[in-house]
A and B are shown apart, each in its own frame.
Chain A
Amino acid sequence: MTALAGSAGLSVVVTIGIFFALLLPSLDFFREVRITDFLTGTRWAPTFADASFGVVPLVTGTLWTTAIGLAIAVPVGLAAATYLSEYASDRTRRILKPVLEVLAGIPSVVYGYFALFFVAPVLLRSIFGIELGTFSVLAAGLVLGIMIVPTVASISEDAMSAVPAGLRHGSLALGANKMRTTLRVVYPAAISGITASIVLALSRAVGETMIVALAAGTRAQVVLDPREAGQTMTGFIAQTATGESTPGTLTYNTLFAVGLLLFVITLVINLIAARFVRRIREVY
């Protein structure tokens, strides 16, 4: 009994552990770099002789890949959820649901490979004729979007399936067709679940590492055009971690300062998502 409670309590220890593991090296970092310079500086060059620690380029890199990812994942995921919940026959659903489950189960390093060796050179450059280099936030963002489609689709579908059939019947009895019923009755009734799915997808997009580490590039710059290469927060952590980073050095501490920023951003997003999930539970 105590052992069982202890196992559950371990989760709290883990959270406290994460907090301190990120905070302690970050405190060392902020002893050498002013926090305002870190948050507002637009030049990220931590390993240069004239080192500069402005995190803005990494944040804009993350913003680009996340925005492109959501631009794909939200419409595609929502449409898939709508079709599965409102239109599909049992047989179609039995075929399509596993496709989404398989998409959800593919490791992100495989998506990274796909972005680097197929989407960028073949799909974007050869087929669509878009001029971009080996690395671009566009290719990384597009594939990131495909990766989080199942997140949006499965949670939205759960929310839409949970809408009582009586609401649909009422709408249809009043003469609305199926599309109108979906748009005007089912969507509004499921809106908190749909929003939660989008916010969770957002948090996954911000925290995703392997795709951006492989396909977005390692040049930390303020990206103005999605065809450019850029580095995200997670991409910087991955790149620096695979190199030599001795604990206690400024490089090592930089890693954790960026990690702390990433953790705080995703935590805020998750707390917002949790609020929406609580709201959906109250409705039905």
Chain B
Amino acid sequence: MIPIAEAVAPPNLKAATHSDRSPGSIAFLVALWLALAIAVLSLTVLLVDAFIDGQSRLDSGLLTNYTSQVFPEQAGARAAILGSIWVISTTAVLAIPLGIAAGLYLEEFADSERWYNRLIETNISNLAAVPAIVYGMLTAGFALAIGMERRIVLSGAIALALLILPVIIIATRESVRAVPQEIRHGSLALGATPLTTVWRQTLPAAIPGIATGSILALSRALGEAAPLLLLGGLVFVNYDPNGLMSGFTTLPIQIFNWASQPQEAFQQVASAAIILMLGLLLVMNAVAILIRNRYQSRW
């Protein structure tokens, strides 16, 4: 998780440069450069490799065909794309209102001296670091306890919503905290109740930041496969999901399944689907950055 805010620029310390040409200093700088080169190179190679493997399968069949065990050359991600859309939309509906509500409570109303509010805060930061796969186990256990089918869109969305809830709460708190006190004071001075102030002033001012954080959280949910593995072997789906109670598969799960098959044709369609998924993520991130740059007010 990289904070959205730009880092503060360190002071320019030109005075130090003359003694920075000792062999030790140069070796140190070269080591730093090498480390960055590893990061940049890994990213480049990863993208180029996926593109080379997958370009032959970047066709319309990838979008319109169902997956096939018999004809891997014609396998497509249709069910996975629709499944991802269903699951991520449901996740958004579940997680965003809850996350905003919890974030607003903690930032605007909660008395942080009270033990239960401190408990909630510690708890949220712990939840943010729980392994993703554990959320799948929780959802499987929950579904079993209430007698709900676990291989359905709703279960998948619950697992992913729980996973990204802490991220949305933290994004909400940061955006709300950035709204200056004067705006709240002005509203209260005009006779608005604290609740009206939050609803009419603080929340609208914080919406761009919350939207950016939520989209980034949803893009994490889109790429996440581990918790969904626990919700059954949802890998061979050759029908369109048509509701919350429908069986489903998602893009990352389908990629995992294809990549685990021995045939090379499956490897190709897996990397074609990876390109598709990375493209989707790029679009979501671009939208998030656009919202941040266009609507974020500077106080």
Residues of A within 8 A of B (CB): 1, 3-12, 14-15, 17-18, 20-22, 24-25, 75-80, 82-87, 90, 93, 96-97, 99-114, 116-118, 146, 149-151, 153-154, 157-158, 161, 165, 168-169, 172, 175, 177-179, 181-182, 200, 203-204, 206-210, 213-214, 234, 237-238, 241-244, 247, 255-256, 259, 262-263, 266-267, 270-271, 273-274
Contacts and interface: CB of A to CB of B under 8 A. Distances in A.
Interface residues of B, number: 99
Contact of B123 (A11, A84, A213): A11
Interface of B: 1-3, 7-11, 13, 15-17, 19-20, 22, 24-25, 28-29, 31-36, 38-40, 42-43, 45-46, 49-50, 53, 97-99, 101-102, 104-106, 109-110, 116-117, 119-120, 122-127, 129-138, 140-142, 144, 162, 165-166, 169, 195, 216, 219-220, 222-226, 229-230, 233, 235, 252, 255-256, 259-260, 267, 270-271, 274, 277-278, 281, 285
State the main secondary structure of chain A at its contact with B.
Answer: helix
Given A83-B32, A106-B223, A263 B39 contact: no
B162 A14 contact: yes
Contact of B39 (A6, A149, A234): A149
Contact of B16 (A20, A114, A177): A177
A80 B33 CA distance: 8
Given A86-B10, A178-B20, A214-B259, A79 B133 contact: no
B120 A11 contact: yes
A112 B19 CA distance: 44
Contacts of B17: 178
Contacts of B101: 3-4, 6-8
Taking each of A99, A168, A204, A242, which has the highest tally of chain B beta carbons within 10 Å of its own beta carbon? A242
A65 to B, nearest CB: 13
Nearest to A143: B42
A12 B256 contact: no
Contact of A5 (B42, B105, B267): B105
A14 to B, nearest CB: 6
A4 B38 contact: no
